[in-house]
Amino acid sequence: MDADFLPMLTGCFAKPVAENPTVAMVEAAYRHHGIHARYINCEVSPERLGDAVRGAKAMGWAGFNCSIPHKVAVIDHLDGLGDSASLIGAVNTVVRRGESWIGENTDGRGFVAALRTVVDPAGTTVAIFGAGGAARAVSVELALAGVRRIVVVNRSHDRAAPLVRLLNEKTNANAELVGWSPGYRVPESADIVINATSIGLFPDVEGRLDVDMNAIEPTMIVADFIPNPPRTRFVRDAEARGCRTLDGLGMLVNQGVIGIKYWTGVDVDPTVMRKALAEVLGV
């Protein structure tokens, strides 16, 4: 009997993880391309992260994704970092290379890949809401992609200041920090406006950014990181203003494409992955 009952193992370590839809799109890609692999969501508490990483190593996993709250803490359990992950200071994809486990960050690269289906970001001005891990990842990758100016809008000056300093010191972009006041008006010079906060994430599906939508011009491209629901209130409001929009599914799909390439060497079809996501999310 010529059979192989030992699939390559990949997955996601996070807490909570039950609502992470990545498993649906990755396994759809595995099936479509005939890749003998599985993707497993694993609920891992912070105090057990080291055990989980050692377990993945012991079981011969090809790699795994890390999500909240492990993207920074996992670095202590790895053998090295890729260039983007080192600059960003966070990891969302771990790859086994020989006997070494290397941390990469595909969040920002996935977003830039999705953005490039609409516009080349080089030379543009970006306004981004938030200064957490998602904002940090996408801001760094946008800067590396040639964005000229990045306005980081955040309520906490102390939390956002390190991101702005990183962008100004380590990239060619000109970054500035702006306090997020009630009814904030996006500057007219912004070409791309990005929500990198959790506002609007399920179950808070009607959550709305505290911004003056009258300042959002139809010429602006509006993007939202949130994949569930894909059409957030911010995306819908921007569409009503006549803007071109990007939902969080594009970023999620593209970072998945990059991750699977790391683990398997296969360039998978993103349309298969997006279709699978749309089905499980009911959109």
71 in active site:
yes
Q: Specify which residues 174 forms β-bridges with.
A: 149
Q: Where are the beta strands (DSSP E) in 50-137?
A: 63-66, 80-81, 93-97, 100-104, 125-129
Packed helices 22-33 and 248-264: angle between N→C axes, nearest 10 degrees? 50
Q: Looking at 15, 57, 71, 170, which residue is catalytic?
A: 71
CA-closest candidate to residue 84, choices 105, 55, 68: 105
| Pairing mode of beta strands 93-97, 63-66 | antiparallel
CA-closest candidate to residue 8, choices 53, 40, 32, 55: 40
User: Is residue 84 within 8 Å of 90, Cβ to Cβ?
Assistant: no
Which active-site residues does the annotation give?
71
